[in-house]
Structure 1
Amino acid sequence: MEKHLLLFVVVLFSFSVASAIDSLRFLVLGDWGGLPTIPYRTPVESSVAKQMGYITEKYDSKFNLALGDNFYFDGVTNDDDKRFQETFENVFEDKSLQNAWYVVAGNHDHIGNVSAQIAYSKKSTRWNFPNYYYFLSFPIPGSNAKVDIVMIDTVLLCGNTLHDFVASQPQGPADKVVAEEQWNWIEQQLMNSTADYLLVAGHFPVYSIAEHGPTQCLVDRLRPLLQKYQVTAYLCGHDHNLQYLQATEDGVTMDYFVIGAANFVDTSNEHADAVPAGSSKFFWAKYAELGGFAFAEATPSNMTFTFVDGLGKSLYAHILYPRKI
């Protein structure tokens, strides 16, 4: 307990002196996609947007990772869909949030037209969704260190779910050839990366103690790749809460962050027994605190992930260290 309190103090102190050091800072949110009818947003989404704007302006965060379920409940129909304005542009309207957004699709997006979300990249200066899956690389200022991020489409890999608001596993990929192409691409990106920090980001969780629980498809196929190629952490949404899990399996320790509380908040932890024993380190779901997101800061010596609630309070932090490759 004392170790976590000390870490929390260190993170708060680093926030206060952030401008004095060279680092790469970015935000992560998932399951943020508003409502299909008026007011096209939830109180949680609005509060998360406000706090993201505040942190981005104060700490010079460079970009945002949006981890799917971008438009509840049925995605969008075309690249002129009013939801782009009503649920995205008009909500994340702070001047500071006109920075880059890097997007992947969730299960609700796949009910609609994901290709329209990709096409919207040509209409927005900040919406970056070049393909269903893609690779990002960012230098850490003032150093030779870098952060690589492999953005993946877990619905194409594993299939969609029948129901989102009850426990439901993906039903298998709609196109096995397309799925295998992406699996091969993922392994190639992980194999080729020499970055100090290597992140993989998708929608479905590998491990989660919440409503949906672990995604068996990803446990079986993605987890071994994360271990083999010394991935720093896996980031996801899908379950509507904030979680940090650390699992040691086959002699390899892996970090998992669930960041799915930017529109709804779900207190379920019904899959607590479905993850490796002792792996659940932090779980948070409080609607009264209006959801949450994550703030990441990478320096050559470490990367810190901090969960922040919709009122701007730092909830929990974990420090990651450079890969040994």
Structure 2
Amino acid sequence: MSMSFLFTFTIIISFGLCILYASAELQRLSHSSKHDGALSFLVLGDWGRRGAYNQSQVSFQMGKVGEKLDIDFVVSTGDNFYDNGLTSDHDNAFQESFTQIYTAKSLQKQWYSVLGNHDYRGDAEAQLSPVLREIDSRWLCLRSFIVDSELVEIFFVDTTPFVEEYFTEPQEHKYDWRGIGPQKPYITNLLKDLELALRESTAKWKIVVGHHAIRSVGHHGDTQELINQLLPILQANNIDFYMNGHDHCLEHISDTERGTCLQPHSVPD
């Protein structure tokens, strides 16, 4: 059953200044912090609903919080457009669920987004298209990439291809696997690039973003593929926390042995 509430998770981080060095094969984007070294941003996911399911109300509150915090950017953890992503890079749902909803002045900042499983049920490559950035310059969605903001690096990971059932038991859904190629080499290369980038990172704070929960007590539960393949890399490289959407309950999960914070945020399905 769909929930009637939409939550957004806010991260506020303050940092000093330093010089960072590029590494690995993941595309790296630079986003400078404020002059005093402070950085603040909003995180949300599972949101593209043409204003329904309280999306418009949450957007209004995001605008107020964004103004108060003077945010630098917004992070989306995927499932950007319901129910089945976009049909093309000219789909009106892009403007009806994004441009026409997040209208507050404080939200006219860069949005960094990854794909979720609902996005893969449509034209996944449409969300990656530069055509959308021509329609709304705030929009930037890639499969996996790094946002380098001086003392913090945010590593965005494309988690949907990890989940076996999307390939073996898609039910009535059709997933757009263009650009993925064979599943296993894609995942192997992604993990190799991520591990190298995390290992070589000199950032004081290392944050990883993905769509699927690693651990969860919610409806979807744990994502075993991420436990087996992604979590050991995050633990070995001492990331500070992992943020995700997908499972629609508010949780704060900590790894007591390693100190890693696995931090889902709550959104409706």
Which range, TM-score by smaller chain? 0.7 to 0.9
Unaligned runs of 5+ in 1: 1-10, 35-39, 140-145, 165-172, 266-325
Q: Structure 1, residues 219-252: CA drift from partner, whole Å, max 9, x if none? A: 111111111001000100001122111122xx41
Structure 2 Cα separation of the partners of residues 122 and 100 of structure 1: 13
Q: Structure 1, residues 42-61: CA drift from partner, whole Å, max 9, x if none? A: 24211211111111111101
The 3-state SS of whatever aligns with 2:54 is helix
Offset, 1:160: 5.7
Structure 2 Cα separation of the partners of residues 134 and 53 of structure 1: 26
Structure 1 Cα separation of the partners of residues 120 and 65 of structure 2: 31
Which residues in structure 2 correspond to 1:161-180 (within 5 Å)? 161=166, 175-180=183-188
Which residues in structure 2 correspond to 1:61-210 (within 5 Å)? 61-119=71-129, 120-129=132-141, 131-139=142-150, 146-159=151-164, 161=166, 175-210=183-218
Q: 2:42 matched to 1:27?
A: yes
Which residues in structure 2 correspond to 1:13-24 (within 5 Å)? 23-24=38-39
Of the candidates 48, 63, 70, which is equivalent to residue 53 of structure 1? 63
| Contact 1:206 1:215 (C-alpha < 8 Å) held by counterparts | yes
Q: Structure 1, residues 109-147: CA drift from partner, whole Å, max 9, x if none? A: 001112110112343210012x311111113xxxxxx11
Offset, 1:181: 1.4
Unaligned runs of 5+ in 2: 1-10, 15-33, 172-180
State the AA in 1 paired with 2:128.
Answer: I
Offset, 1:95: 1.6
Distance 1:106 1:159, change over 3 A: farther
Structure 2 Cα separation of the partners of residues 193 and 42 of structure 1: 40
Q: Over aligned residues, Cα RMSD in angstroms?
A: 2.4
Q: Structure 1, residues 173-202: CA drift from partner, whole Å, max 9, x if none? A: 962111211111111111111111000100
Structure 1 Cα separation of the partners of residues 164 and 64 of structure 2: 37
Structure 2 Cα separation of the partners of residues 226 and 217 of structure 1: 14
State the AA in 1 paired with 2:44.
Answer: L
Q: Give the number of aligned pairs.
A: 225
- Percent same amino acid among aligned pairs? 35
State the AA in 2 paired with 1:127.
Answer: W
Q: Structure 1, residues 57-92: CA drift from partner, whole Å, max 9, x if none? A: 111011010000001110001111101111111111
Distance 1:123 1:192, change over 3 A: farther
Which residues in structure 2 correspond to 1:229-244 (within 5 Å)? 229-244=237-252
